[in-house]
Structure formats: C-alpha cells, structure tokens
Amino acid sequence: MARESSTSTGRAGSGSDSGATLRAYGGEGGDTRVARRRSALIDAGLDLLGAGENATVTVRGVCRQAGLTARYFYESFESVDELVGVLYDEVISELADAGLRAFDEGSDMESKVRGGVTAMVDIIAADQRKGRLLFSQSLQSPVIAAKRMESTTLFAGLTLQSASGVIDLDPELGSGAAFGIAHYQVGGLSRLLAAWVEGDVDMTRDAIVDLSVRLLLAPAELFHVHGLIDRAGGGRSNAAESST
C-alpha cells in the first residue's frame, strides 16, 4: 500500500471546520460535517482496499473516491496508515460485536457457535469489501498485516472467554494450552473464510457456516480432555512426576 510523499504528521485537524471555527452551515453543525466527511473517507478507503488485487491507497485516491479535497483528509487523519488502521478496527469491531451478540442468544454450545459464525459470515457476504480487507492475500500493507495479527489474538481471547462461560474447562489444561486451542480455532476459521472469499472454496453460505461450526466444535472438545497440558509439554510431565 503506497503512501503519498505529501503525507506528514501533525496535520490532522487542519481543515476549515477545525478547532474553534466549527459553525453551522446549511442547517448542519460543524461537528456533523466533520463526522460525515470522516465517514466518507473511511468508506472510500474500504472501496479501494476491497477492489481486488493490487489495491493501492493514497491520499489523492481516497479523496477522489470520497469526492473531497486533500485538506479534508488531514482534518481527520494524519496519514493513509492511520486511515487504514481505523478502517480495519471498525470492521473487526463490527464482526466481534455481531458475533458475541449472536453467541449470547444461543441456548447451548452448538447454537451459540452457529449463531456467532452465521452473524460474521453474513457481514462478509453482504459486503465483499470487508471480506477482502480481512482476508485477501493480495493486500501486503504492513498495517494490515499487523492488524490481522492483533485481531487473531483478540478473537482467540474472545473465544476462550466465551467457551469458559458455557463449559467447565479442564483444570489440568492450563492457560497456555487453552489459549493455544483458541488460536487454533480462530486461525483455522480465518483461513477457511479467506479461501471462501478468494473463491478457492466453492461453497454456499449455508454450507460454509455448517462446515465452520463442525470444525469449531471438534477442537472445543479438547477443553475437556484430562492431562492435555502434560502431553503438550506445557506443565507437569509424567516423567517428572515419576522421578519425584
């Protein structure tokens, strides 16, 4: 993802509506105008990043897509990287909120997992730009790469937290192994959805949900396996116990 050489720090808030000059115009308050322009820039960034292969995002390109001049870009963002980071975080928050709400509405583990997966898949299916932003391998931006790692850790934590509220985790499992299982689940689901978004997996929406639920529930059973932490080498080992 390219950054224009004109991008510099310390320029956010330099637009004509910044600071104490925010005034109502045409019945619309200054804060409302700033928020509207910021939203337009974020949506324009999503348009460009979700366009497909070789997506390039620049200040000029985002402003052209949003129908705004460059000064309004710096009114809300100091750089393209900041815009991309904010955009990614908004999509992740949307997925996480929808997934958690649907998970909480389920009556048992299967219905909870199915609800959460369905909610997230529906968001991706309804707006393919979001799926490409989250999963497309053609987006080589360092910001997106870092955000993907952050989101994996976030969803692994949410997965473990959600599971512990429904099932009794094996006390011998250990936090390290439990978090490892959660990472395994999130990583597998991410790669499956990535292949689906990219067209490498030819499945309907219902079929991808069914497969995702089955794969997520299978490793969840590991949370109940006694002594897993010993076999994983993350705690007391049988050999160590026998030597004492």
Query: What confidence tens digit (pLDDT) does each residue in 8-34 have?
Result: 333 554 444 444 455 555 556 678 889
Output the pLDDT for position 163. Answer: 75
- Residue 5 domain-assigned? no
183 and 98 in a common domain: yes
How many structural domains comprise the chain? 2
How far, in Å, are 7, 33, 157, 162, 237 from residue 222 at the CA level?
49, 52, 16, 15, 18
Output the pLDDT for position 141. Answer: 87
- Residue 190 domain-assigned? yes
- Residue 120 domain-assigned? yes
Closest-CA residue to 18 (of 31, 37, 32, 36): 31
62 and 85 in a common domain: no
60 and 33 in a common domain: yes
100 and 145 in a common domain: yes
Residue given tokens 């937290």 in the structure block: 161
Percent of the chain with pLDDT over 90: 55
What CATH number does the domain containing 164 carry?
1.10.357.10
63 and 86 in a common domain: no
217 and 185 in a common domain: yes
Output the pLDDT for position 167. Answer: 58
Strand residue runs (E) in the chain? none
Model confidence at 35, pLDDT cuts 50, 70, 90, reads very high
Q: Determine the angle formed by the axes of helices 80-105 and 109-126, rounding to 10 degrees.
A: 140
Indicate whether 236 pLDDT > 60: no
Mean pLDDT of 213-218: 88
The C-alpha atoms of residue 139 and residue 144 are separated, in whole angstroms, by 7
What mean pLDDT, rounded, does the chain reach? 80
Residue 43 domain boundaries: 19-78
Indicate whether 58 pLDDT > 50: yes
223 and 108 in a common domain: yes
The pTM of this model reads: 0.77
Q: Which of 31, 47, 78 is a domain's end point?
A: 78
91 and 32 in a common domain: no
The C-alpha atoms of residue 21 and residue 203 are separated, in whole angstroms, by 54
